[in-house]
Amino acid sequence: MNQNMKNKIGKLILGNAGFAAGFVLLYSPGLLGLRPSDPSIIKAALSITMGVLMPLGVVGYNYSLLGKKAEHRYIGENTYSAQSIREELQQYLGTKLFGQVASSSLDQLVKCESLQKEIEEILQRKFNKGSLTYQKFAAISESARAAIFSNMAGMLNRMRVIDDAEYSKLLNYKNDDIPDDIQIQRLELYNKNIEAVKEQRNQNEKLLFKLDELMLELAASEITDTSQIKAYAEIDTLIKQIQYYQG
């Protein structure tokens, strides 16, 4: 059961408990004690009105949670943010096919945001913000962040193509009446897609490792130019590799 489903179940329990408590409060003799036969016209009318509206509310509330499928957005270029990526990844937590990828990618997202702040703090301590050296290091750090986010958006677009149930059916293609050669080709296509997702996750891990190195070199060295930091050139190379892979 993924995190999204757990949240839905929690909302169902709390919501229906709230409706039940409302019924008790309105119609119990020891409380408001509403009833259609009440001598008071206002109370009798309120009893009938609430008796109609509350069941409709229960049905509407439950349908809003169970009747709607989870919305999946295809994330286009320059339309993603840390929050939108985080929300999309959380929908895959606990799933068999991409649960581990989603979990590790969420960790990477946290790590990326943390590194950005730490590198920015080091740069502000060591360089004048208007200096060329500061701008170069800030630019490579931001480019790395953008490459990681872009990679995650690409991963999510691939992940939406298949789900656990569909993939499981393909793994048992011999048990249906669809021609095996078609099923095998489709399975190969999906496996290629799954491996591409994992490769993009691994690319992000390499880039984060190099950002770690960059941060440590910056903190420990008395440098005056980007050429003195080995990780700078390595990050630039990784970003270009990611951009080539995406293209």
Q: What is the DSSP string of the chain?
A: --HHHHHHHHHHHHHHHHHHHHHHHHH-TTTT---TT-SSHHHHHHHHHHHHHHHHHHHHHHHHHHTSPPP-PPP-TT---HHHHHHHHHTTTT-TTTHHHHHHHHHHHHHHHHHHHHHHHHHHHHS-TTSHHHHHHHHHHHHHHHHHHHHHHHHHHHHTT--HHHHHHHHTGGGSSS-HHHHHHHHHHHHHHHHHHHHHHHHHHHHHHHHHHHHHHHHH---SSGGG-HHHHHHHHHHHHHHHHH-
Confidence of residue 184 (pLDDT cuts 50, 70, 90): confident
Q: What six digits make up the tokens of 128?
A: 């004048």
- Cα–Cα distance between 33 and 139 in angstroms, integer? 68
- Cα–Cα distance between 141 and 242 in angstroms, integer? 15
pLDDT over 60 (residue 18)? yes
Burial of 120 (0-12, 13-18, 19+ CB in 10 A): middle
Report pLDDT for 201.
Answer: 94
Report pLDDT for 43.
Answer: 61
| Sequence letter at residue 85 | I
Report pLDDT for 70.
Answer: 41
- Cα–Cα distance between 78 and 59 in angstroms, integer? 39
Report pLDDT for 98.
Answer: 92
Which position has the higher pLDDT, 187 or 111?
A: 111
Q: What's the residue count for the chain?
A: 247
Q: Average pLDDT of the chain?
A: 77
pLDDT over 80 (residue 21)? no
Q: How confident is the model over 67-86, as pLDDT tens digits?
A: 544 444 444 444 578 889 99
Q: How confident is the model over 41-52, as pLDDT tens digits?
A: 776 666 666 655
CA 74 to centroid of chain Cα atoms: 12
Q: How confident is the model over 87-140, as pLDDT tens digits?
A: 999 999 988 889 999 999 999 999 999 999 999 999 998 888 888 888 888 998
Q: How confident is the model over 235-247, as pLDDT tens digits?
A: 888 888 777 666 5
Confidence of residue 207 (pLDDT cuts 50, 70, 90): very high
